[in-house]
Structure 1
Amino acid sequence: MSSIPNRRLFRVASCNFERNGAGNYDRWLAMHRRLAGLKLGVLCRQENDGYARTGTGLKKFQDSQKILELSGELGPERLPTAVYYDPQLFEMVKLWDTRWPGWLSHPTAVTLRVRGIDVGTAVDLVAGVAHLSYNSPPLRASQAYDVTRFADHVVEYETQGQVVKRKLPVLAVGMDCNSYPDRPVADETPIPRLDQIKDLQHRAHRSYETVPGVRVMDSLPDRTLLVAGLEDVGRYAALNTPSGLAAVAPTVDASVTHGPANRPDRIYTSKLLLPAVVKVEVIEMKGLSDHDIVVATCDLDIIVDICRSQPPLAA
């Protein structure tokens, strides 16, 4: 069970597992057992090397679901992302087609329906995962606009004899943004300065030119998502829950070449669902991966209440 006793809480995680263990079965197994121990309701996974929708890759993906005790869906093409979910909490009603141009590792998105809800009052949510470009700020900027599509899905519901339209709230998009948060909270680990990144190629990968000869660190994807109503749950939790700065801890360690520790791994949710965020933490994965895991604890009852009170779109 992914719910926590006596409360309708569940956990959402975003995990970039470096090359899915890079063929090291013991490391792969250790990571999956670690993830299983978190009792997750939703898991957003990047770098699923070796998984596929057919053949031996499918068998490996199915093995991961058994260990995690979660159902899952892979994104399209090679180097897929994946979304897993607890089938006791959610029913999948749609796997999105995300074969969008301009992605090396395509996003995955599913529409999930909360179980245990009365017929006629279904609560549907979007869960997704994205891995933005490692080397190209302009491509990340474009990809961030693609991610905003997760928040722009209109569905029709029949209620009291009338058909109304609503946009589905985004429960979570777990992302390796390969870029920086735009609005660090007070005392959060600061965004690196360009001169702190010694590797010249990485300087180019993590910054962009504004005028000739002037470069700024890339936080544009974060700003784009914010404009579209998708909020960084870590930032919210740091400011509004007892999580404090633990919610915005770095997810990547400092490196001689890549500069100071930073936080490229983030979970985004629709702004209207922020009151359901109870806690956010970063769980260290040293020895297993080069990225730590972001875990958000959410209140399912609050999510249901918010969705039921969501006004329909204007005609």
Structure 2
Amino acid sequence: MSTARLIRIVSCNFELNGNGDYEAWLAMQQRLAGLRPTILCRQETFGYAPTGRGATLFGESKRITKLAGDLGPGKHATALYYDPKVFDQLTLWDTEWPGWLLHPTAMTLRVRGTQDVDVVVGCAHLSYNSATKRVAEAEDLTRLADRVETYQSEGGSVKRKLPVLALGMDTNSYIDPARLVPGELPIPRLEEIKDPPHRAHRSYEIAPGERVMDSRPDRTLLTAGLEDVARHVALLPGGPGLAAVAATVDECDTHGPAHRVDRVCSTDWLLPAVVHVEVVDMTGLSDHHTVVVTYDLDTVIDLYRARFALTT
């Protein structure tokens, strides 16, 4: 596998975007810049806006990380950045979908130096309090895997269903227990969550008085061909193993045991391009740790061209 061009997808939920503490905000921007992201998926970007002081702060975040980017609609609670030296933005999606409190951000990007290697990237923050909303939101996110574009070829027009290179999320829910990596932290049990509201937030009733922990978004995205990248890498011989599926939220009184709610998903046929996944400890900066996924860009291009029978 070529390692000539590695790209890094970083997914970070920064608690309340620093909650008005500029020094904490600046420290996080500098930490993220140090991770050298090619694509940065940010959740809880409260305080950013298209105009005014919020636009100034958002612009400063782009300057520090040396990335271009856009905010999601509505409350502007998600943002998606990309390296303009690596990608050109073709489309900023309209994701003002009904039913979302914190709308996602999505783009179609073209790999620079190619004529038509186009991929979808997204950033999402699923509902923290409603399992019913989360499954509906995950169903909405399957739209990212259903993008069909028309291209002109020597034989006429052809249609392609574009792959999702990366969807970075705070899912506020769990991995399907049947798909845990051997040795991965187990899904919390309902009785381990001491805070009653959070018991309701993280589970749903399947019969009167019987509740199960919520992993429906995970299964919904998998059904749409969007695979949990960390799980894939953890199972590779010689890979990072359990480090790839480390907890992204530490144990606490409200949420119970440590668990992995922050994830990056990718269209399954792009998985051979993933070379590494790590969870970066953000203790002291945020209540979530950050997921970093490294792809071999040349392999992404090769897989894309093979999939659609393209010449170089």
In the superposition, the TM-score normalised over structure 2's length comes to 0.96
What's 2:195 paired with? 199
Alignment partners' CA distance in 1, 2:266 and 2:58: 26
State whether residues 145 and 224 of structure 2, in contact with CA within 8 Å, keep that contact through their aligned partners in structure 1: yes
The CA distance in 2 between the partners of 1:178 and 1:158, in whole Å, is 41
CA RMSD of aligned residues (A): 1.2
Alignment match, 1:130: 124
C-alpha deviation, 1:243, in angstroms: 1.2
Does the 8 Å CA contact 1:79/1:104 hold for their aligned counterparts? Answer: no
Residues 225-267 of structure 1: per-residue CA shift (max 9 Å, x gap): 0000000001001001511101000000001232100001000
Provide the residue aligned with 1:285 in structure 2. 282
| Equivalent of residue 224 in structure 2, options 228, 239, 262 | 228
Superposition map of 1:182-261 within 5 A: 182=176, 183-240=179-236, 242-261=239-258
> Of 279, 297, 302, which residue of structure 2 is paired with 1:300?
297
What corresponds to 1:160 in structure 2? 154
Q: Give the deviation of 1:10 after TM superposition.
A: 0.9
Contact 1:52 1:80 in 2 (8 A): no
Separation (CA, whole Å) in 2 of partners of 1:105 and 1:79: 7
Query: What is the one-letter code of the residue matched to 1:174?
Result: G
Map 1:1-315; keep pairs closer than 5 Å: 7-117=4-114, 119=115, 122-182=116-176, 183-240=179-236, 242-311=239-308
Distance 1:48 1:6 in 2: 33
Instruction: Check conservation: 1:125, 1:168, Cα contact below 8 A.
Output: yes
Moved more, 234-243 or 148-157: 234-243
Q: Distance in 2 between matches of 1:286 and 1:280?
A: 19
Alignment-mate amino acid for residue 33 of structure 2: A
- Count the aligned residue pairs: 305
Deviation at 1:102, TM superposition (A): 0.8
Task: State how far apart, in whole Å, the 1-side matches of 2:240 and 2:152 are.
Answer: 39
Return the letter of the residue paired with 1:146: D
Structure 1's unaligned 5+ residue stretches are none
User: Within 1, Cα distance between the matches of 2:181 and 2:250?
Assistant: 19
Distance 1:38 1:311 in 2: 33
- Secondary structure of the structure 2 residue equivalent to 1:72: strand
AA paired with 1:164?
Answer: V
C-alpha distance after superposition, 1:72-123 (max 9, x if no partner): 1101011420000011100001000000011111000011000012x4xx10
Q: 1:247 to 1:306 in 2, by over 3 A?
A: same
1:266, 1:294 within 8 Å by CA — same for their partners in 2?
yes
Q: In structure 2, how many angstroms separate the alpha carbons of the residues matched to 1:260 and 1:7?
A: 40
1:132 & 1:186 partners in 2: Cα distance? 26
Could you tell me which runs of 5 or more consecutive residues in structure 2 were left unpaired when the two chains were aligned.
none
Contact 2:3–2:296 under 8 Å retained in 1: no
| Deviation for aligned residue 1:160 | 2.2
In 2, distance between residues paired with 1:27 and 1:89? 29
SS in 2 for 1:144: helix
Amino acid at match of 1:125: V
Task: State the distance in 1 between where 2:137 and 2:71 align.
Answer: 18
Cα distance in structure 1, aligned partners of 2:14 and 2:274: 24
| In 1, Cα distance between equivalents of 2:170 and 2:74 | 18
> 1:311 Cα shift?
3.7
Q: Secondary structure of 1:285's match?
A: coil
The alpha-carbon deviation at position 308 of structure 1 amounts to 1.0
Which residue identity lines up with residue 82 of structure 1 in the other structure?
A
State the alpha-carbon separation in 2 of the partners of residues 251 and 6 from structure 1: 28
